[in-house]
Amino acid sequence: MAKVTLPDGKTREYPDGTTVLQVAESIGKKLAKDAVIGVVNEKPVDLFFKVTGDVKLKIVTRQQPESLDHLRHTCAHIMAQAVLRLFPNTKLAIGPPIEDGFYYDMDPEKPFTPEDIEKIDAEMQKVLASNFPCERFELPRTEAIERCRKEKQDYKVEMLGEWTDEKVSFYTQGDFTDLCRGPHLPSTGAVPAVKVLKATGAYWRGDEKNKMLQRLYGTAWWSKEDLEKYLHRIEEAKKRDHRKLGKELDLFSIHEEIGGGLVHWHPRGSMIRHVMEQEWYADHVKRGYLLVNTPHIASEEIYRISGHLEAYKELMFGSMLIEERPFRVKPMNCPGHIMIYKSKLHSYRELPMRLAEFGTVYRFEKSGVLHGMLRVRGFTIDDAHIFVTPQSVEKEIIEVFNFAVEWLGKFGFKDLAIYLSTRPEKSVGATSDWEKTEAALRNALVNAGVKFQVDEGGGAFYGPKIDVKVRDSLGREWQCSTVQFDFNLPSSGRFDLSFVGEDGNRQQPYMVHRALMGSVERFFAVLTEHYGGAFPAWLSPTQATVIPIADSHIEYAHSVAAQLRGAGFRVDVDARNERTGHKIREATLLKTPYMLVVGEKEVAAKQVAVRERSGKDLGVMDVARFRELLGEEVRAKK
């Protein structure tokens, strides 16, 4: 007899050899219908797994999110089956589930074309319709290698050669058998909705020294509706692509003639940036930061001292000789801020000393990774370096962390993910320093009472860090704020920083690098996609457009605009020889928050007819009333 303990602690008995599915059936019809896989003694198993002896059993149903992984994993195999039917000489590598879908890396004779993708998708649907049962069998590893070698599945042979398991499992579904740990859905017909999306290149094992394989991506869901919803979400993300919106809304451009990854901010984009910068400066002054500015190139020597030349070389632009002395375009702002700190002797009373700058830096990124404003070669960091006594470093880190949370909140980012990143492989400094500072950051987070995850090995080469990622309106995560500890640059081997302590002796300060937005370009791209281009009034480059109905109303339109500009608002007049509907359409497409239509009636009554970009009509009101309304919205950053 098998004694089965269920998650609620209840125990049931079955004859040995009863399958997980049969157990589910004995509990309830619905459970059996929704069952996807079982978990026996913490190990995922197929529904036809036979239970014997004392076991703990959990049944994973479609309602549980992890069931999607198993669905998608099964789909990866079905996709491979479809590919082998169409292209029999394809060699298979690996096919895991990923967020929202799955992929299978394979090595076909010829790369897949878009038409192939459609064929593969159609073939997959046939496999689903055939409803092949997915059957598991095991082989000793050596026999498995033999089998895969015969089938010329070189990648499987390579993987099998590296494993140490005595036995490995295969799954067969119809005319297709593949090495797989499982578990799988019971049959190919159990897949309700699946679609092959695209093919791209991917290196075998992600290593560029290895052969480039073809990676086929697909997505799968428990219902057609979920699949549709997902495809719709992809469409929505495409519509919000900052590169597309950047063009449509005339925000920025990148020019081949000038170079990839170098951003030109157009007047409308630049206005948004300007508003953000003004807010940033004001907030920093409020919090006791000191504003500085530093040069864009520096003698190579400074980067030798800082260690960048050594640890960061491949990301720095080449050397240029100026009067026989080598210079570099700056990849970092820290050395400049450090030189300002070092320009005189400091007392412990002055610390923490917080030097802040919108520092533009240039880093050599490989051409293939450039991506609109998200990944560029020249960008501006909203940078600050804080020189602090060892005693108050933890307090200061909490302070910075709170600042970051407040700042991101202004842009509607309330859902934050916090990461503590520890020592990477390529790093400088003593182990004891790393341990001490990692503990300081950890304490700061614990004391601030926030939940965080640890990213092992994700730190900068000079110290551990705290990263803050925001979740945008489409649920995607973006890295923004960073608080990085640095015990390297202040050290005697580097810049040898000091302050005079209470006892009159020189001591070494700690240093914290921090950025709230990270790269202004990147943050701007994230914001554009987050808002879908409909920037809130406080950020919008044009806050209102005055639309005169006919030429005779132009003069009044200008006087309305002048009044509003006088109150500090950004207002345009659309005096073109076009119909009202045309002007409204264009202002709406530019996502201007308000349109103020003025015609004969408004001129006579000294009023404006207010329309929101959503199309909502707010009616006719005095200019002063609109000024209040917009003023309130801007102040509240709604």
Partner RNA sequence: GCUGGCGUAGCUCAGCUGGCAGAGCACCUCCUUGGUAAGGAGGAGGUCGUGGGUUCAAAUCCCAUCGCCAGCUCCA
What residue ranges bind RNA (CB under 7 A)? 94-96, 98-99, 111, 113-114, 159-160, 163, 165, 168-169, 178-181, 198-203, 205-208, 212, 214-215, 243, 247, 254, 256, 260-261, 366-372, 549-552, 577-582, 584-585, 588-589, 595, 597-602, 609, 611, 615, 617, 620
Residue 178 or 300: which CB sits closer to RNA? Answer: 178
Q: Which two tokens stand for residue 211?
A: 């052969």
* Least distance (Å) between residue 323 CB and RNA: 31
Least Å from the CB of residue 328 to RNA: 21
Facing residues of 388 across strands?
A: 510
Nearer of residues 253 and 392 to RNA, judged by Cβ: 253
Cβ 234 to RNA shortest distance, Å: 10
3-state SS, residue 244: helix
**331 and 368 in contact (C-beta within 8 Å)?**
no
Cβ(567)–Cβ(583) under 8 Å?
no
Which residue, 299 or 588, has its beta carbon nearer to RNA? 588
At residue 573's C-alpha, the angle toward residues 570 and 576, to 5°, is: 150
**Torsion sign across C-alpha atoms 394, 398, 399, 400:** positive
> Least distance to RNA from the beta carbon of 635, Å?
25
Smallest gap, in angstroms, from Cβ of residue 302 to RNA?
29
The CB density around residue 367, as the number of other CB atoms within 10 Å, is 9
Q: How far apart are CA 547 and CA 468, in angstroms?
A: 43
Is-contact 122 113, C-beta < 8 A?
Answer: no
User: What's the closest the beta carbon of residue 199 comes to RNA, in angstroms?
Assistant: 7
CB closer to RNA, 57 vs 117 = 117
Min CB(595)–RNA separation in Å: 6
Q: By C-alpha distance, which of 249, 269, 253 is closest to 261?
A: 253
Minimum gap (Å) between residue 52 Cβ and RNA? 22
CB-wise, 124 or 338, nearer to RNA?
Answer: 124
Q: Is residue 334 within 8 Å of residue 306, measured between CB atoms?
A: yes
Using a 10 angstrom Cβ sphere, with 0-12 exposed, 13-18 middle and 19 or more buried, the burial of residue 551 is exposed
262 alpha carbon, distance to own chain's centre: 21
Give the residue with the Cβ less far from RNA, 6 or 231. Answer: 231
Closer CB to RNA, 111 or 288, in the complex = 111
User: In this structure, are residues 308 and 315 in contact, taking their beta carbons and an 8 Å threshold?
Assistant: no
Q: At what angle do helices 267-286 and 520-531 cross, to 10 degrees?
A: 110
Phi, then psi, of 319 in degrees rounded to 5: -75, 145
What DSSP assignment string belongs to 540-569? -S-SEEEEESSGGGHHHHHHHHHHHHHTT-
Q: How far is the CB of 620 from RNA (least distance, A)?
A: 7
Compute CA distances 62 → 9, 59, 169, 223, 519, whole Å: 22, 10, 24, 10, 41
Least distance to RNA, CB of residue 563, Å: 18
Sheet containing 594-598: give its strands across: 571-573, 544-548, 594-598, 607-612, 617-622
- Smaller CB distance to RNA: residue 8 or 207? 207
User: At its nearest, how many Å lie between RNA and the CB of residue 456?
Assistant: 13
The CB-of-411 to RNA minimum distance in angstroms stands at 23
169 vs 319 by CB, closer to RNA: 169
CA-based nearest residue to 533, from 238, 248, 234: 248
Least distance (Å) between residue 48 CB and RNA: 18
Of 46 and 300, which has the nearer Cβ to RNA?
46
Query: Which residues sit opposite 448 in a β-bridge?
Result: none
In the complex, the smallest distance separating the C-beta of residue 543 from RNA, rounded to whole angstroms, is 16
Q: Nearest distance from residue 492's CB to RNA, in Å?
A: 37
Q: Give CA torsion, residues 618, 619, 622, 627, to 10 deg.
A: 10
* Residue closer to RNA (CB basis): 101 or 307: 101
Nearer to RNA, 306 or 519 (CB): 519
CA–CA distances in Å: residue 565 to residues 462, 474, 608 = 48, 35, 15
**Which of residues 169 and 507 has its CB atom nearest to RNA in the complex?**
169
431 CB-contact burial (10 Å; exposed 0-12 / middle 13-18 / buried 19+): exposed
Considering beta carbons, is residue 30 or 247 the nearer one to RNA?
247
- 72: nearest Cα among 196, 245, 238: 196
Nearer to RNA, 234 or 322 (CB): 234
Gap between the Cα atoms of 497 and 486, Å rounded: 12
Question: Longest C-alpha distance within the chain, in Å?
Answer: 95
